[in-house]
């Protein structure tokens, strides 16, 4: 991993500074690039160190270092275009599919470097699942939508095992009661909220360790949103969850830790209640008090 | 005044109508002390004026041109002496022809017959009157319309609505024209085919196994009546099309998948136009490529393998036709594959699917209606293709599904039936219409089936 020329940053002071990052809260300007709060935790599930992302020449993520705690929900907030989706997509290498996108730095899942040479993205993405902003069920039946992942990964030896996986996943996603009589109908025929829970069920079905969610409720009405939020809280028992959201209420309802991004920089990370009540960085404070964003 | 000058005058009048209308409309609301508000923007008043000025005049001009010859013919004929008028229909039309030639001043038909010469003069006079009258009517119509609209121009006038309604009418007329042309062609084919079926029973045509459309030249000739069984011809068409699709569908589909999913943008920008270039090669070029290169090659290969291959074979025609059709399949499939939302792919990749799994289980199923549509379109294209089969498939109507034999196709037969000197009411010529009708019905059925499949698919997945 090399430091790209022309970013105007000194590569060495970064990790050292984050620990006392609260200092940055006193001023703005160049210091905005140092992360305030507590970006690192004990025994994390994922470790990201000095992650940079470029789209061609555009530097979209700048030196982001953060830990993602086990069986916790980490929410990422920030004004739109600040790189939340971009960073999220680094975590399961979805950025590989974008032409011209380059990622540097290290991201580890437990002790495995996910950008390591020997790593195969196919099992990796089964370990780190993803739910997208717009519900995107496949043009297949409800059953086949959930069965898709287990089938391609060969998780079921026969039809009854597959049915069991599908049922468990749908139950965990809180969708079973609503769809058990219409498993063979197209998944695209469900309501928006049901579609999104179907996408969650689909992600759960391959038994991931981490689930990434990119604004999963932004296309949904308040009731469907509430259901998904409850669901996220339940899922925390089994999975580690990273959720991008533009709603600060949502972040405070569902997450234990919150990360604030600004123009590709990770400004502040901390326990959710602290970030929202006593932000250490002026930019975070401006954002959560609604002064911009 | 010639028609062109007349038309130009009308156009100039319309343009001035536009300018006057617009000017007067803006003057109405900008006049000092005028507190009125125009209903529409000034240019709509101008457009309205121009419309009334030009369109009725143009319609009259078109109608006049359409009806004038018939009316003049009628007048000329009714002035002829009774003994000529009582001539039989076809003789009478000959006389009329003479008169017209004379009137047009064609020298070699200078007639000595005073009656004809007189009639020709009459014809010339009538035409002159007609032209004059037309000019007067059209110009006055234009001017009257211009003045009338200007008279009625007022701020409350709903000029915009009138113009919008007029535009709608124009669009309706255009689409009706397209539909009626199609209906007209179908009806004329149907009508001629009916005449054919009077001579040859429908059942014989549909189920007859022998096709040799030679008819007796004279009615009293014996044993020379033709056989009009369309089965061998249709089997030939199906065989050649099937071979073509066998080539085009896999190659086209796979190159579409490669181009849209795997190829980098550099490859795509070069490869896509090159592939589409195949569609731009004139079919006659494919034809002689098939006849002069592919067919002999296949024959030689066959001989080496100890097979009996005729020098014109269904295989040669089908292979080349398949190549020709590849771009249809690939470019249509490419479009629909690109239209599959990136969300779908992301969803699949996000579950750890590989590229080919994503394509197989998500992209292709989602794009299938479009792909099926493209393939059926390609099939109709193959069935209707003429030049390649004329040159490479042969003329003999063998009833065979052996691709190494010469076969003939519906289009080839239509061509051979209609080239050369024809009598337009012999069954041999009319057979072409019957074949065309059948071809049309088959393509229609194909399209209906395609729509049905696509609709059922949509219902299932939307
Ligand atoms: N595929 C791409 N190519 C080029 N630039 C991109 C691409 N995707 C995102 N960007 C840019 O990267 C920045 C961060 O985008 P994104 O991560 O989508 O922001 P967020 O999700 O926080 O709204 C934006 O400035 C955006 O324009
Ligand atoms: Mg985003």
Global pTM?
0.72
Residue of the CA atom closest to atom 12 of ligand 1: A60
CB-CB under 8 Å, B361 with A148: yes
Mean pLDDT for all residues in chain A: 86
Among candidate residues B13, B96, B84, the one with its CA nearest the CA of residue B51 = B13
d(CA A96, CA B199): 70
Same domain assignment for residues A1 and A114: no
What residues of A are in the B interface, CB distance below 8 Å? 92, 94, 97, 99, 121-126, 129-132, 134, 136-140, 148-149, 152-153, 186, 188-189, 199, 202-203, 206
Contacting residues of A for B341, CB less than 8 Å apart: 136
Strand, helix or coil at B1? coil
Whether A283 has a pLDDT exceeding 60, the answer reads yes
Whole-angstrom Cα distance, residue B321 to residue B326? Answer: 9
Structure tokens given for B32? 């000092």
Alpha carbon of A9 to ligand 1 centroid (Å):
21
For residue A97, what pLDDT is reported?
83
Pick the last residue of a domain from B134, B157, B180. B157
The residue among B350, B354, B356 with the most chain A CBs within 10 A of its CB, best to mutate, is B350
Residue nearest to atom 4 of ligand 1 (CA): A55
CATH number of residue A55's parent domain: 3.40.50.300
- CB-CB under 8 Å, B462 with A122: no
What confidence tier does B108 reach under pLDDT thresholds 50, 70, 90? Answer: low
d(CA B343, CA A135): 9
Q: List all residues 6 or more positions away from B69 whose beta carbon is below 8 Å from its beta carbon.
A: none
Looking at the structure, tell me whether residues B233 and B153 fall in a common domain. no
Residue A31 confidence (pLDDT): 40
Do both A127 and A18 map to the same domain? Answer: no
Task: Choose, out of B268, B347, B366, the residue to mutate when testing the contact with A (most A CBs < 10 Å).
Answer: B347
Binned at pLDDT 50, 70 and 90, residue B109 comes out as low
Kindly report the CATH number assigned to the domain that includes residue B308.
Answer: 1.10.3720.10
Instruction: Kindly report, residue by residue over B294-306, the tens digit of the pLDDT.
Output: 988 988 888 888 8
Output the pLDDT for position B221: 53
The ligand with the least distance to the CA atom of A57 is: 1
pLDDT at A25: 40
Separation of alpha carbons A62 and B58, rounded Å: 69
State the DSSP code for B259.
Answer: I
| Residue A152, ligand 1, Cβ within 6 A | no
Q: Are A77 and A279 in contact (CB under 8 A)?
A: no
The reply to whether A67 and A118 lie within a common domain is yes
Residue-wise pLDDT tens digits, B66-96: 998 889 888 888 888 888 778 887 888 888 8
Q: Identify the residue with better confidence: B156 or A144.
A: A144
Ligand lying nearest the CA atom of residue B342: 1
Which whole number is the average pLDDT over B164-193? 93
Q: pLDDT band for B220, please (50, 70, 90 cuts).
A: low
- What's residue A32's pLDDT? 40
Asked whether B375 and B329 are in contact (CB, 8 A), the reply is: yes
Would you state the pLDDT for residue A22?
40
Q: Are residues A11 and A127 in the same domain?
A: no
Stretch B23-29: mean pLDDT: 85
**H runs (alpha helix) in A153-247:** 159-172, 176-179, 192-204, 222-235
Q: With contacts defined as CB-CB under 8 Å, which chain B residues touch A153?
A: 352
- Tell me the mean pLDDT in the region A146-150: 94
Which one is predicted more confidently, B2 or A277?
A: A277
Rounded Cα distance between A88 and A92, Å, is: 8
Final residue of a structural domain among B157, B173, B199 = B157
pLDDT above 80 (res A215): yes
Q: Which pLDDT tens digit goes with each residue over B325-349? A: 999 899 888 888 888 888 899 999 9
**Do B279 and B390 belong to one domain?**
yes
Of the three residues B135, B157, B179, the one that is the final residue of a domain is B157
- Asked if residue A156 belongs to a domain, the reply is no
Are A115 and A48 members of one domain? yes
Q: Which domain holds residue B50?
A: 3-157
User: How is residue B198 annotated by DSSP?
Assistant: H
State residue A158's pLDDT score. 93
In the numeric block, which tokens belong to residue B219? 């009615």
- B347, A122: Cβ pair inside 8 Å? no
* Residue B309 included in any domain: yes
Bridge partner residues of A240 (DSSP): A210
Q: Are B260 and B339 in contact (CB under 8 A)?
A: no
Which burial class, exposed, middle or buried, applies to A274 when counting CB atoms under 10 A from its CB (0-12, 13-18, 19+)? middle
**B115-125 confidence digits (pLDDT tens):** 888 888 888 88
Number of domains, chain A = 2
For residue A213 the two structure tokens come to: 């969610």
Pick from A131, A134, A138, A147 the residue to mutate for testing the B interface (most B CBs within 10 Å): A138
Cα dist. A191→A136, A178, A198, B78, B217 in Å?
12, 11, 10, 78, 74
Res A20: pLDDT: 40
Question: What pLDDT does residue A211 have?
Answer: 95
* Residue-range definition of the domain harbouring residue A11: 1-36
A292 phi and psi angles, rounded to 5 deg: -155, 175
* Mean pLDDT value across chain B: 85
The total domain count for chain B is 2
User: Are both A261 and A233 inside the same structural domain?
Assistant: yes
Does the beta carbon of A83 sit less than 6 angstroms from any atom of ligand 1? yes
Shortest distance between the Cα of B445 and any Cα of chain A, in A, equals 28
Which pLDDT score is estimated for A11? 41
pLDDT tens digits for range B274-289: 888 888 889 899 998 8
Å from A28 to nearest chain B CA?
37
Whether residues A23 and A128 share a domain: the answer is no
* Residue B159 CB-density burial (10 A; 0-12 exposed, 13-18 middle, 19+ buried): buried
Q: b/e for A157-189, b at 16 or more Cβ within 10 A?
A: eeeeebeebbbbbbebbbbbebbeeebeebbbe
Q: What is the pLDDT of residue B97?
A: 82
Which-ligand-closest: CA of A60? 1
Give the pLDDT band of residue A3 (cuts 50, 70, 90).
very low
Name the closest-CA residue to atom 20, ligand 1. A81
Is pLDDT above 80 for A19?
Answer: no
CA distance B258 to B255: 5
Query: A4 pLDDT band (50/70/90 cuts)?
Result: very low
Indicate the length of chain A as a whole number.
293
**Is B17 within 8 Å of B53 (Cβ atoms)?**
yes
pLDDT for A149 equals 94
Specify if B98 maps to a domain. Answer: yes
Give the residue, B259 or B155, on which the prediction is more confident: B259
Residues A27 and A45 in one domain: no
Q: Is the CB of A195 under 6 A from ligand 1?
A: no
pLDDT of residue A28: 41
Q: Could you identify the atom of ligand 1 that is nearest to the CA of residue A88?
A: 17
B453 and B304, same structural domain? yes
Residues in contact with B143: Cβ distance below 8 Å, sequence separation at least 6, in sequence order:
B13
Q: In this structure, are B245 and B376 located in the same domain?
A: yes
Q: Indicate whether B22 belongs to any domain.
A: yes
Q: Is B30 exposed, middle or buried (0-12, 13-18, 19+ CB in 10 A)?
A: exposed
pLDDT band at A13 (very low <50, low <70, confident <90, very high): very low
Q: What mean pLDDT comes out for the span A162-171?
A: 94
| Torsion of Cα atoms, B172 then B173 then B175 then B180, to 10° | 130
pLDDT for the residue A135: 92
- The more confidently predicted of residues A8 and A198 is A198
Exposed, middle or buried by CB within 10 Å (0-12, 13-18, 19+), for A127?
A: middle
Angle, CA of A180, A184 and A187, to the nearest 5°:
85
The alpha-carbon gap from A124 to the nearest alpha carbon of chain B, in Å, equals 7
Give domain status of residue A170, yes or no: no
Is B351's CB within 8 Å of A126's CB? yes
Quick check: A10 pLDDT over 50? no
Ligand 1 contact via A55 beta carbon (within 6 Å): yes
CA A37 to chain B, closest CA, distance in angstroms equals: 31
Q: Which ligand is nearest to the CA of A78?
A: 1
B180 falls within a domain: no
How many interface pairs between A and B have CB atoms less than 8 angstroms apart? 80
> In sequence order, what are the residues at sequence separation of 6 or more whose Cβ sits closer than 8 angstroms to the Cβ of residue B38?
B25, B28, B29, B45, B155
- Region A192-220: mean pLDDT is 92
**Is A268 found in the same domain as A230?**
yes
Is B114 within the bounds of a domain? yes
For residues A52-65, average pLDDT:
94
Mean pLDDT to the nearest integer, B425-429: 77
Low-confidence winner among A173-187, B108-122, B211-225, B387-401 (lowest mean pLDDT): B211-225
**A118 falls within a domain:** yes
**pLDDT tens per residue across span A67-113:** 999 999 999 999 999 999 999 999 999 998 888 899 999 999 998 99
Same domain for B268 and B135: no
> What whole-number percentage of chain B has pLDDT above 70?
92
Q: Which of A52, A53, A56, A58 to mutate to test the pocket of ligand 1 (most atoms within 8 A of CB)?
A: A58
Q: Give the separation between CA B232 and CA B238, rounded to whole angstroms.
A: 10
Give yes or no: residues A69 and A120 share one domain.
yes
Give the chain A residue whose CA is nearest to the CA of B266. A99
d(CA A287, CA B74): 90
Whether residue A151 is contained in a domain is answered as no
Does the distance separating the beta carbons of A186 and B351 come in below 8 Å?
no
What band does B107 get if pLDDT is binned at 50, 70 and 90? Answer: low
Distances (CA, A) of A28 to A15, A80, A164, A291: 19, 20, 54, 15
Query: Does ligand 1 have an atom closer than 6 angstroms to the CB of A123?
Result: no
In this predicted structure, the answer to whether residue B215 has a pLDDT above a threshold of 60 is no
Residues A106 and A6 reside in one and the same domain? no
Residues A23 and A102 in one domain: no
- Quick one: tokens of A236? 């925390």
């Amino acid at each position: 991993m090399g430091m790209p020329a022309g970013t105007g940053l000194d590569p060495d002071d970064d990790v050292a500074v984050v620990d006392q990052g609260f200092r940055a809260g006193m001023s703005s300007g160049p210091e905005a690039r140092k992360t305030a709060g507590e970006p690192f935790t004990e025994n994390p599930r994922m470790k990201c160190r000095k992650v940079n992302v470029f789209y061609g020449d555009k530097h979209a993520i700048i030196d982001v270092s953060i830990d993602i705690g086990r069986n916790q929900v980490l929410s990422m907030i920030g004004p739109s275009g600040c790189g939340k989706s971009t960073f999220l997509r680094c975590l399961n290498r979805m950025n590989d599919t974008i032409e011209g996108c380059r990622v540097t730095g290290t991201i580890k899942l437990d002790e495995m470097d996910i950008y390591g040479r020997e790593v195969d993205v196919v099992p990796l993405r089964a370990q780190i699942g993803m739910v997208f902003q717009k519900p995107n069920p496949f043009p297949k039946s409800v059953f086949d939508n959930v069965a898709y992942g287990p089938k391609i990964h060969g998780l079921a030896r026969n039809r009854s095992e597959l049915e069991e996986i599908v049922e468990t996943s749908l139950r965990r996603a809180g969708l079973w009661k609503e769809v058990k009589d219409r498993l063979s109908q197209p998944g695209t025929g469900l309501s928006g909220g049901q579609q999104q829970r179907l996408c969650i069920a689909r992600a759960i079905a391959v038994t991931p360790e981490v689930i990434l969610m990119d604004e999963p409720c932004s296309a949904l009405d308040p009731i469907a949103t509430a259901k998904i939020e409850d669901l996220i809280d339940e899922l925390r028992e089994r999975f580690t969850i990273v959720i991008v959201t533009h709603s600060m209420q949502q972040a405070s309802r569902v997450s234990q830790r919150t990360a604030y991004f600004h123009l590709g920089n990770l400004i502040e990370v901390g326990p959710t209640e602290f970030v929202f009540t006593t932000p250490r960085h002026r930019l975070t404070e401006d954002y959560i008090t609604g002064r911009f964003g | 005044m010639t028609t062109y000058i007349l038309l130009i005058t009308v156009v100039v009048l319309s343009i001035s109508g536009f300018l006057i209308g617009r000017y007067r409309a803006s003057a109405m609301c900008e006049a000092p002390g005028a507190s009125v508000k125009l209903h529409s923007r000034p240019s709509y008043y101008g457009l309205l004026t121009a419309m009334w000025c030009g369109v009725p005049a143009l319609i009259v001009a078109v109608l006049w041109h359409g009806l004038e010859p018939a009316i003049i013919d009628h007048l000329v004929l009714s002035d002829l002496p009774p003994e000529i008028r009582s001539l039989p229909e076809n003789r009478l039309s000959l006389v009329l022809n003479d008169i017209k030639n004379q009137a047009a001043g064609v020298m070699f038909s200078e007639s000595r017959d005073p009656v004809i010469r007189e009639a020709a003069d009459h014809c010339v006079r009538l035409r002159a009157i007609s032209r004059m009258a037309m000019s007067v009517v059209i110009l006055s119509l234009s001017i009257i319309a211009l003045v009338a609209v200007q008279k009625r121009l007022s701020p409350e006038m709903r000029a915009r609505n009138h113009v919008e309604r007029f535009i709608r009418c124009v669009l309706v007329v255009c689409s009706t024209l397209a539909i009626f042309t199609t209906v007209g062609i179908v009806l004329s084919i149907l009508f001629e085919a009916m005449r054919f079926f009077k001579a040859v029973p429908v059942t014989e045509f549909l189920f007859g196994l022998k096709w040799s459309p030679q008819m007796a030249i004279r009615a009293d000739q014996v044993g020379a009546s033709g056989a009009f069984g369309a089965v061998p011809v249709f089997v030939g068409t199906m065989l050649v099309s099937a071979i073509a699709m066998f080539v085009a569908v896999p190659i086209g589909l796979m190159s579409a998948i490669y181009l849209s999913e795997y190829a980098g943008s550099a490859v795509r920008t070069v490869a896509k136009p090159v592939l589409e270039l195949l569609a731009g090669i004139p079919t006659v070029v494919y034809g002689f490529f098939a006849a002069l290169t592919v067919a002999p090659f296949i024959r030689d290969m066959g001989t080496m393998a100890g097979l009996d291959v005729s020098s014109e074979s269904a295989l040669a025609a089908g292979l080349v036709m398949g190549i020709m059709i590849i771009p249809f399949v690939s470019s249509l499939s490419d479009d629909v594959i690109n239209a599959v939302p990136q969300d779908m792919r992301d969803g699949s990749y996000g579950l750890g699917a590989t590229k080919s799994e994503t394509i197989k289980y998500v992209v292709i199923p989602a794009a299938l209606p479009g792909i099926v549509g493209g393939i059926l379109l390609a099939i109709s294209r193959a069935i209707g293709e003429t030049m390649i089969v004329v040159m490479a498939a042969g003329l003999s109507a063998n009833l065979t599904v052996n691709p190494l034999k010469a076969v003939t196709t519906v289009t080839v037969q239509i061509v051979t039936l209609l080239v050369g000197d024809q009598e337009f009411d012999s069954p041999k010529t009319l057979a072409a219409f019957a074949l065309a009708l059948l071809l049309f019905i088959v393509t229609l059925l194909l399209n209906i089936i395609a729509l049905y499949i696509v609709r059922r698919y949509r219902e299932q997945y939307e």
